[in-house]
Amino acid sequence: MENRETLLKIENLNVYFKTENGRIQAVKDVSFEIGKGELVALVGESGCGKSITSLSIMGLTPRNCQVEAGSISLGGQELTAMSPDELRKLRGKDMAMIFQEPLTSLNPLFTIGYQLTETIRIHNQIGKKEAKERAIDLLKKVEIPRPESILKEYPNALSGGMRQRVMIAIAMANNPTLLIADEPTTALDVTIQAQILRLMRQLMKEYSASILFITHDLGVVAEIADRVIVMYAGQIVEQGEVFSLFRQPLHPYTQGLMSSTIKINQSDEILGTINGVVPNLSSMPEGCRFHPRCPYAREDCRKNMPELNTVTENRYVRCLHWNELGGEQNG
């Protein structure tokens, strides 16, 4: 990673769910940083802990969830020490979130204009006229045509791509330093997806924001990310700069994800698969959590939980035998 000033720093994040059968752990000892102006992709299959990690940062976890963290700091502010009211003031201003399906986030009973101007006015002491002017300007920036007319529309009158642009406008309304995007392009077709990704990169530079981009799509990661964090079964299993990680994935899980991704010049190639499924939170395997699905698993993998090893500066892997499977890191 370039020598960027740290914006978000998470240390030893642990997240539990209360169930009828007791507490089960969804995220275990997760630590990472995001630099100012950096786009970090958080990657993994459904159920790996990506979304609950992001909701923990935002303070939006469900009621049956317990977040236990050594530290979550944003711009030097310790979020774990804040009250719900203090966090509420921070959300939408210093940090904002874009969800996968805009219809679940946009209120169908209110116009786009009302929802956008209210977001602006909550955090700024300005009148309705100025808020409307800002809202129109934001819609222009996210490349929505006829912004004055769109302000009068209700969410269900817009296409999926247009709704997602509105969500980006709302998220950027108060110039947040951190934007968390949780699978924001999954429900969109490929052409619209490419437009949204380009737009997010463009706005990130314009607003000097940092982005935590959550996805399972490595094609998207290769296109937009500076750095990649791979999660599996609630743990970080690999982390590195995007070029380094794509050139030489070190963890068997990352290798499996890569082999199951379509490559531009190899459309006729048979895609690889990862056998099995992500383990149930209530019955995690002993030892390495990936060993039941790992083609290289050995006896010690079944008994010993691997640490997150430092391979080189800013390159980490959680595997007992990474240096034999992935080879020495080049450069």
Which residues are CB-contacts of 280 (< 8 A; sequence separation ≥ 6)? none
> Which of 89, 91, 61, 79 is closest to 11 using CA atoms?
79
pLDDT exceeds 80 at position 104 = no
Report the residue count for the chain.
331
Residue 262 pLDDT grade (very low, low, confident, very high; cuts 50, 70, 90): low
Alpha-carbon span 250 to 128, nearest angstrom: 54
Does pLDDT of 328 surpass 50? Answer: no
Reported confidence tier of residue 230, pLDDT bands at 50, 70, 90: very high
User: Of 150, 145, 151, 149, which is closest to residue 131 (Cα–Cα)?
Assistant: 151
* Burial status of residue 276 (CB atoms within 10 A of its CB: 0-12, 13-18, 19 or more): exposed
pLDDT tier at 259, thresholds 50, 70, 90: confident
Burial class (CB in 10 A: 0-12, 13-18, 19+), 313: exposed
Which pLDDT tens digit goes with each residue over 16-73? 999 888 899 999 999 999 999 999 999 999 889 999 999 999 999 999 999 987 899 9
The beta strand positions in the chain, using DSSP E, are 6-19, 22-35, 39-43, 65-74, 77-78, 95-98, 178-182, 210-215, 227-232, 235-241, 309-312, 315-317
Q: pLDDT digits over 291-314, tens only?
A: 999 999 999 999 999 999 999 988
